[in-house]
Structure 1
């Protein structure tokens, strides 16, 4: 009796303290995170405590913490853009609501192929003040230190931490005691202004290559004369292993989550994309920094690209963020595209994702409206509501619709989800040295791109979708591109417009409808190199006003500064082309064109 009374008194005395801890949030220090060799088990305990107590904040004291996969939670995941399979997770957030994770400026060092943050079916989650550094990766850089044209060889110096060596006459890396082959993906060339361009290489597959080790981290490579790089170029290498690539994960993966905010977060040397968000909404990214590892003297931050939103809805906002040195687009918004495989009945169809990198990912939910599109000419715009979904496997689904569809809807027709077309806001971001596109946006939601600096190798901004790829073809509606600065990353062959408004049709003539509505380009500054600043197709209500284009005096304008195909109600007003030579426009099948008060641009 006395023991029970004493326990009861202790419980009453402790309750206010525990209640105060919950109200103030939970601190990872309570679980002994300081000084731990592996923070993974500690974080898992802290997250369990947050979930069970309903705490609204998890604070991690400022420090450097290491995360290893040995005791991490393992979960089978379907990851768009990566291979589906088991992943080890540092911060597994499943069904959490109203939680702030504050790293207090800490650095998280990720060992092995871990997924740092997995968010499933979460609501109102904020992740802030965190620096993520991947210690081991599947790619790296070196420097060309010597080039001998007579001897047809060059030497490279790589980071000692990359642990490259020569095995059976090939570059290789050691991971978990296993020797994996490495190939040279290409070369990075940097000019005096700091802009970087990428030149691909076939050294990884060429038989006419001889490699010998020099001192540790340095290698002698003999090649044919036409494969020689130049001294000072950066060599980019990557693991040549399908199994290893199948383990790659993004730094953040979101599925079915709403109200997710990342602020003051940086990611260094990611093996894959920075974030993949699927079937989620109301996502806010502010002061997200993805930059090359300056400590290692790198030029690239990712071989894969930055942030990809798939089938999301409501609002996506990215502000005051920095992206630099990416092989793929920094920001991509689209939806997966399905193809009809089988017509089961007038209202039931068997479908499959076009890309195997999307297999297993959720395409829609019951109640969503789908649009049926003939990819050859964008006709057949039937729309139906999903009433039932049956997933037979990762590759094949069956969909039930609310009404019967005509016989013209048959195998080969594409389906897009028009219920998941988010509004996108990009404001105050800096995208530097994007080797390909800067931004790809395929959504019918309102788009605002304002006050950004974009330097890219291909299109700075690509809008509208590409039917020749797995991107979702959409009809743009209310697009505002204002007060941005766009520069070219390199002088690519052919004409790559700084801003592209699709769709780009493959093996088909231009469509016979005006797909896009109300697109405005205003007050933008283009630092061009004799290419087009805008290539627009199938647009109605296109306004191009008060933009300024700079071209080097030495560059001859061989391409139209603006190219318009099958557009109507177009205004080209108050734009300036600043060069001694006069620029020209290319206009095909354009109705109601208003052109006046433009400087340095010949009237079409």
Structure 2
């Protein structure tokens, strides 16, 4: 009897292990050995194909270093939002039409060579990527330390092993694995704090108009830049030397649903960090877009950290970290288009306006579209799509089930109200980046809570425009609560840096009767400003700034032109109550511009007064 029981148990165990083996595929099973430095691309392609064919549930990368070279990569035409248009994207890890798959990288280090897109998730459902670090041996942006500063020249030290360079026609040119590109942009970071150097901002540490410089190699990676630079950087500080384009995302998610990225270190990439477009239900947990601490680098990722364009469902960003980016850690928006011509009482010819937002299938039958007047940017009516047809990558025809509004005219804009997400951002750290911390443009429900902000520009920007970037999404329900805004916020000059929280849509002609944004609650937060502006709001109805702590910092010297703590332009239904001011807070005042005093409910015992009206 005991032998029969043991035999049954053994048979069951064999069956169970066989089941596990069928449900799990390892890249090692296709012959790849981590840490070998050989090209992992063909091995990974075979493993992904096997997963897709067999309906595998788990793809495992045994822990180690994996090197990805351009040879054998899949090349695909993708129109990627806010990214340069190029003929093909290189996709070494392409998941296309894959469903119900967990990709566990086991804490591995993925190292990429030349320009490519580390992960691409195309038309997938229920897919998770976890436990991986992404980096380049030769980064696509260089850095240098400032050694000597004079009125005639600046000497900088470059690690020529990590960032090889040459001097070509007097200009500093970086060369890599299959590419070379000339230096054209710069950021300065403090040598001690590793923050964006206060006061540098978009002017750069060298000031504008330095095209007249000439470069010369002195010795051992020391380069002399001959020029009387407008802005003199500080000796010992670091420069990030941008020389590359924005042509591949670190991870690209398109046409997909229920995607989770967790425990990912995005140390470097060739453009936006993780770009999601036309996708639904996305979760990012413990994603770090920061400099690689093992390599003593200043710059992380590249441009934005997490970028969402025309998504829907629920977006969750939880316990993530961002630092030293060349743009915004989180950006959520739609894409508005301009009306070129009325083709009938139900049909329009429209144009995708921004050069980095073309080629989209902008709408499908049955989707809801808003009609936006150009001047006040008011969404004054909606329609349901009957059909959509592209003429080319820029122009398209769109027909509606009902007659178009009589007031709709060429020059007005459309927004797709079907592709709008709800957003939850919590427990995350937004370090010192060029520009902002969060850009939020969605009419869905938004909660931003329990985060720490140290961006060098505005911590949170709620924008909106149908005239420049054409990024749509007037907000309707935003809660910003229990966050800490530290004093690095607003230390440099950028576009849209009117306050630590800046509600600043680009509206050609504001009309208080037609507010752009609505229902924004800023409650229970702690602000540590060194300067005047804490909150700036434009064209907003229903703004609540309650029960916040505002604690003065003396770490930096005030410089902002806006010497009011709160500024309200063309706003109504405002409540400011229960706030506590600590220390010598600057301003303690509210400026009203085109905003009636009667629209502001100002609580007592705050020490805040209405000091200016225009």
With structure 1 as the length reference, what TM-score do the two structures score? 0.90
Distance 1:153 1:515 in 2: 49
1:132 corresponding residue in structure 2 = 134
Query: Following superposition of structure 1 onto structure 2, how do residues 80-91 of structure 1 map, counting pairs within 5 Å?
Result: 80-82=81-83, 83-91=85-93
Distance 1:76 1:496 in 2: 39
Aligned residues of 1:575 and 1:597 also touching (Cα < 8 A): no
- 1:559 alignment partner, one of 547, 555, 563: 563
1:141 aligns with 2:143: yes
SS in 1 for 2:465: coil
1:586 aligns with 2:585: no
- Displacement of 1:546 in angstroms is 1.0
1:55 corresponding residue in structure 2 = 56
1:540 aligns with 2:541: yes
- Displacement of 1:493 in angstroms is 5.0
1:412 corresponding residue in structure 2 = 411
Mark the CA change 1:346 to 1:104 in structure 2 (over 3 Å): closer, same or farther.
Answer: same
Distance 1:200 1:520 in 2: 34
- Displacement of 1:390 in angstroms is 0.9
2:119 corresponding residue in structure 1 = 117
Aligned length: 581
Distance 1:216 1:131 in 2: 31
Mark the CA change 1:181 to 1:580 in structure 2 (over 3 Å): closer, same or farther.
Answer: closer
CA shift digits 1:76-102 (9 cap, x unpaired): 111112214212211111111100000
- Displacement of 1:556 in angstroms is 9.0
Distance 1:187 1:502 in 2: 25
Query: Following superposition of structure 1 onto structure 2, how do residues 164-183 of structure 1 map, counting pairs within 5 Å?
Result: 164-176=165-177, 180-183=180-183
Distance 1:571 1:225 in 2: 47
Aligned residues of 1:22 and 1:54 also touching (Cα < 8 A): no
Aligned residues of 2:188 and 2:205 also touching (Cα < 8 A): no
Aligned residues of 1:523 and 1:548 also touching (Cα < 8 A): yes
Which of 538-547 and 414-423 deviates more? Answer: 538-547
- 2:243 alignment partner, one of 214, 239, 243: 239
2:3 corresponding residue in structure 1 = none
Mark the CA change 1:191 to 1:550 in structure 2 (over 3 Å): closer, same or farther.
Answer: farther
Distance 2:231 2:525 in 1: 40
1:314 corresponding residue in structure 2 = 313
1:69 corresponding residue in structure 2 = 70
Distance 2:559 2:218 in 1: 46
Aligned residues of 1:110 and 1:135 also touching (Cα < 8 A): yes
Aligned residues of 1:433 and 1:456 also touching (Cα < 8 A): yes
Aligned residues of 2:206 and 2:229 also touching (Cα < 8 A): no
Which of 190-199 and 363-372 deviates more? Answer: 190-199
1:5 corresponding residue in structure 2 = none
- Displacement of 1:289 in angstroms is 0.5
Distance 1:590 1:374 in 2: 28
- 1:220 alignment partner, one of 210, 224, 229: 224
- Displacement of 1:165 in angstroms is 1.8
2:107 corresponding residue in structure 1 = 105
- Displacement of 1:187 in angstroms is 3.8
SS in 1 for 2:491: coil
Mark the CA change 1:510 to 1:100 in structure 2 (over 3 Å): closer, same or farther.
Answer: same
Mark the CA change 1:442 to 1:380 in structure 2 (over 3 Å): closer, same or farther.
Answer: closer
Distance 1:193 1:213 in 2: 29
2:396 corresponding residue in structure 1 = 397
1:251 corresponding residue in structure 2 = 250
As a proportion of its length, which structure holds more strand? 1
Mark the CA change 1:42 to 1:367 in structure 2 (over 3 Å): closer, same or farther.
Answer: same
Distance 2:337 2:238 in 1: 40
1:599 corresponding residue in structure 2 = 606
CA shift digits 1:449-491 (9 cap, x unpaired): 0000111222211125234432434332221100101133453
Distance 2:211 2:609 in 1: 53
Mark the CA change 1:562 to 1:55 in structure 2 (over 3 Å): closer, same or farther.
Answer: same
Mark the CA change 1:578 to 1:26 in structure 2 (over 3 Å): closer, same or farther.
Answer: same
SS in 1 for 2:283: strand
Distance 2:493 2:242 in 1: 26
1:571 corresponding residue in structure 2 = 575
Aligned residues of 2:187 and 2:196 also touching (Cα < 8 A): no
CA shift digits 1:161-185 (9 cap, x unpaired): 211121222211224566x342252
Aligned residues of 2:117 and 2:270 also touching (Cα < 8 A): no
Mark the CA change 1:136 to 1:189 in structure 2 (over 3 Å): closer, same or farther.
Answer: closer
Aligned residues of 1:579 and 1:600 also touching (Cα < 8 A): no
Distance 2:217 2:134 in 1: 32
Mark the CA change 1:84 to 1:372 in structure 2 (over 3 Å): closer, same or farther.
Answer: farther
1:3 corresponding residue in structure 2 = none
Mark the CA change 1:191 to 1:375 in structure 2 (over 3 Å): closer, same or farther.
Answer: farther
- Displacement of 1:340 in angstroms is 1.0
Aligned residues of 2:346 and 2:400 also touching (Cα < 8 A): yes
2:4 corresponding residue in structure 1 = none
Mark the CA change 1:225 to 1:586 in structure 2 (over 3 Å): closer, same or farther.
Answer: closer
1:162 corresponding residue in structure 2 = 163
Distance 2:191 2:438 in 1: 23
Supply the RMSD in Å over aligned alpha carbons. 2.5
1:4 corresponding residue in structure 2 = none
- Displacement of 1:227 in angstroms is 5.1
Distance 2:178 2:93 in 1: 27
Structure 1 stretches lacking a partner, 5+ long: 1-14
Mark the CA change 1:33 to 1:493 in structure 2 (over 3 Å): closer, same or farther.
Answer: closer
Distance 2:610 2:408 in 1: 44
SS in 2 for 1:299: coil
CA shift digits 1:530-587 (9 cap, x unpaired): 2321112333332211111122357599622112233333221110222336611113
Which of 185-194 and 35-44 deviates more? Answer: 185-194
Which of 156-165 and 102-111 deviates more? Answer: 156-165
With structure 2 as the length reference, what TM-score do the two structures score? 0.89
Distance 2:381 2:525 in 1: 37
- Displacement of 1:598 in angstroms is 4.1
Mark the CA change 1:556 to 1:262 in structure 2 (over 3 Å): closer, same or farther.
Answer: closer
1:423 aligns with 2:425: no
Mark the CA change 1:397 to 1:169 in structure 2 (over 3 Å): closer, same or farther.
Answer: same
Mark the CA change 1:578 to 1:359 in structure 2 (over 3 Å): closer, same or farther.
Answer: same
1:285 aligns with 2:290: no
Distance 1:517 1:186 in 2: 37
1:38 corresponding residue in structure 2 = 39
